[in-house]
Structure 1
Amino acid sequence: MKILYDSVMPYAEAFFGHIGICEPFELGKISSEALANADVLLTRSTTKVDASLLECGNNLKFVGTATAGINHFDTAALDDKNITWTSAAGCNARAVAEYVLAALLYLAEQDGFLLKNKQIAIVGVGAVGKQVADIATALGMQVVLYDPPRAAIDANFSSSIFEEVLQADIISLHAPLTHNGQYPTKHMFNSDVLNSMQSSQYIVSASRGELIDTQALLDMNDDCPQLVMDCWENEPYISTDLMSRCRLATAHIAGHSLEGKARGTSILYDKLCAFLGVEKQHSLAEFLPQMDHSHELTACTQSFAHQNLNQTSLSSLVKCFYDIENDDSFFRQHMAKSESITPIRKNYPIRREFDAVDISVDDAADKLTLSSLGFSVS
């Protein structure tokens, strides 16, 4: 069995080596001819799997993406060739939620407010939205959940109405991109919606850039809401004019933690083993390395044994794991000389998630809060 996999999938050779012959491919260098003798194709979101690519893939039985989204899959073309396809839904949910937390703490620090006094609306309550909601709840924020499609199929979930979303102080976007149906998400934040908002409100774009109409934002001049943009319309060639209006701007890297990427590999491994009826021989815990402890990180984690948790100390702790300002600064510097975000995404120095290091905490309430935020506490 021949398995082709994207070279940036962590630990792919280690996971899949016992199943078949594994061969990596580089971004942009996979061709239809390369699939001629392949049985399995494992990609990330940068590989568009369509009828053209599949033309020579007559032996393909299984195609998977080590990402949560499948917008790069032509599922009809895959179905036409009777190819089983799947994704790693939820693999980067924790990383995206931690990105949102870092952004919220940054905004709160810069603008001088307490998050516990703010209301946040979460648009799209899937794997990512659920974790963002859990974090917001742990911070004491008032949480509005908006996901009518989920409410239609989940009797245990109740969705707020869109008008309630637009009244929130902060709106965090985690919905998939859809074009049809009763609740299409393409440009759900169009000119009318955006003009109904206040410039004091915040929008965090961390799902699909097409949920927001870029031109509508640009037409608002200085009246648009405060923006945190990780996902952009027309990626990888984004609007640098819009970037200049953002409070924080990053290169669609919210989910790019080592754990998030490796979890994508691990999920596809589990699914391929199930598809083939092969017994699993590996688990993710075998491969994740221990996190290097910098002096700053050690000082941050040790300090929680001797101080009470508050928004200021939490912000300092989060920065030790992930300083979102660094990503913003690097992104702006790169985009001043480039039109594409691809090089940043390809060479992004993968960060670790909050639970990569144990934190010693004495206070029981602080321990519970930090645990709810995703930290590993003892």
Structure 2
Amino acid sequence: MHSMVFLDAASMGDTDLSALSNTAIPLTCYDHTTEQQVVPRLAQASIAIVNKVQLTADMLLQLPQLKLICVAATGVNNVDLVAAQQQGVVVCNVRGYADTAVAQHVFALLLQLSNKVQQYHHAVRVGHWSQSRHFCLLDYPITELAGKTFVVIGYGALGQASSKLALAFGMQVIIAEQQNAPYCREGRVPFAAALAQADVISLHCPLTPLTERLFNQQTFAAINPGALLINTARGGLIDELALLDALQHGTLGGAALDVLTQEPPLADNLLIQANLPNLLLTPHVAWASAEARLRMVQQLADNITAYTEGNTQNQIWPTG
């Protein structure tokens, strides 16, 4: 008899979780789970559902009854995949549930950087428009996206969805090949060459040992000055100190981040404290439209049902 535990259900906000109950498997939900609570809470469970809770090799060794880990996200860097495979634990993620939501957020961030909507709204509220000698206010430069080059790093479902919106805005889309790839696949451009052409860079690749701090001091030095960087993937893809330096010294035109290396971040995080006009931060919400969260829960339920019926779907295997 299976039983399942959702270790960080509060990360789903007010989303209806009834689809999980409809699997007919007993479900226990915890709003939050600390590192010390993971093993006791999963001790009797055969199925674990996690969003961002870490499941390490040491934890998995202490959970012989665990058979399935369902990650309530596409990225699975919070689970030790090698240890899971060694323990015979299947790991599944959710895919495609947030394609429209993430792509929409990418362009919400990009449009703020290019159209300065927030700054103009504030200017109106504090009376600058009312005091203008002209019918309009032109205090902040606006840049058109049409004709600009949109470089995608990671061309999975989210990268593809964002690229479609870029094309709709009249942008030229370039798909970057992986850094240090032995050859360049058809339809892609070598990593360094892509960065050199970019007006906008949008990150959609997973966080792995190969992509950790992919954007560092050396990378920023190779980017077209004035380019805009959008990250809705994982914070660890960017060296935050190097990013701050690039923004402060004009190596990079601007950045908009929905993710940071540590989440939630410390209050004194250097990017939060920077207060730069060319830096925009949102609290990891690109995935979180109401519609996307419902699709995620349904896909979690489908993953669980498929597993119990012997038809595992969305399984993740260790790489590297």
Which of 1, 9, 27 is the aligned partner of 1:22?
A: 27
**Secondary structure of 1:259 counterpart:** helix
Map 1:1-378; keep pairs closer than 5 Å.
1-5=2-6, 6-8=8-10, 9=12, 10-29=15-34, 30-45=37-52, 47-110=53-116, 111-148=141-178, 158-162=187-191, 163-179=193-209, 184-220=210-246, 221-225=248-252, 226-237=254-265, 240-243=269-272, 244-245=275-276, 246-277=278-309
CA contact (8 A) 1:88 1:267 kept: yes
Q: Distance in 1 between matches of 2:108 and 2:30?
A: 33
CA contact (8 A) 2:47 2:68 kept: yes
Q: Label 1:142 to 1:18 Cα distance change in 2 as closer, same or farther (>3 A).
A: closer
Q: Distance in 1 between matches of 2:68 and 2:183?
A: 28
Q: Distance in 2 between matches of 1:258 and 1:278?
A: 31
**Secondary structure of 1:210 counterpart:** helix
Q: CA deviation at 1:198?
A: 4.7
CA contact (8 A) 1:50 1:74 kept: yes
If the length of structure 1 is used for normalisation, what is the TM-score? 0.66
Q: CA deviation at 1:90?
A: 2.7
Q: Distance in 1 between matches of 2:61 and 2:19?
A: 29
Q: Distance in 1 between matches of 2:147 and 2:165?
A: 15
**Secondary structure of 2:45 counterpart:** coil
Unaligned runs of 5+ in 1: 280-378
The 10-residue stretch of structure 1 (233-242 or 263-272) with the greater mean CA deviation from structure 2: 233-242
**Percent of counterpart pairs with the same letter?**
27
Q: Distance in 2 between matches of 1:134 and 1:154?
A: 22
If the length of structure 2 is used for normalisation, what is the TM-score? 0.77
Q: CA deviation at 1:228?
A: 0.7
User: What's the CA shift string for 1:112-159, capped at 9, x where partnerless?
Assistant: 12211311111111111000001111111111111349x99997x521
Q: Distance in 2 between matches of 1:112 and 1:123?
A: 25
| Structure that is richer in helix per residue | 1
Aligned length: 272
Q: Distance in 1 between matches of 2:200 and 2:217?
A: 18
**Secondary structure of 2:236 counterpart:** helix
CA contact (8 A) 1:198 1:223 kept: no
CA contact (8 A) 1:217 1:224 kept: no
Q: CA deviation at 1:199?
A: 4.4
**Secondary structure of 1:117 counterpart:** coil
- Tell me what 1:334 maps to: none
Q: Distance in 2 between matches of 1:55 and 1:258?
A: 36
**Secondary structure of 2:27 counterpart:** strand
Q: Label 1:224 to 1:242 Cα distance change in 2 as closer, same or farther (>3 A).
A: farther
- Tell me what 1:339 maps to: none
Q: CA deviation at 1:269?
A: 1.3
CA root-mean-square deviation: 2.6
Q: Label 1:198 to 1:165 Cα distance change in 2 as closer, same or farther (>3 A).
A: closer
Q: CA deviation at 1:278?
A: 8.3
Q: Distance in 1 between matches of 2:296 and 2:240?
A: 30
CA contact (8 A) 2:94 2:299 kept: yes
- Tell me what 2:136 maps to: none
Q: Distance in 1 between matches of 2:31 and 2:205?
A: 29
- Tell me what 1:320 maps to: none
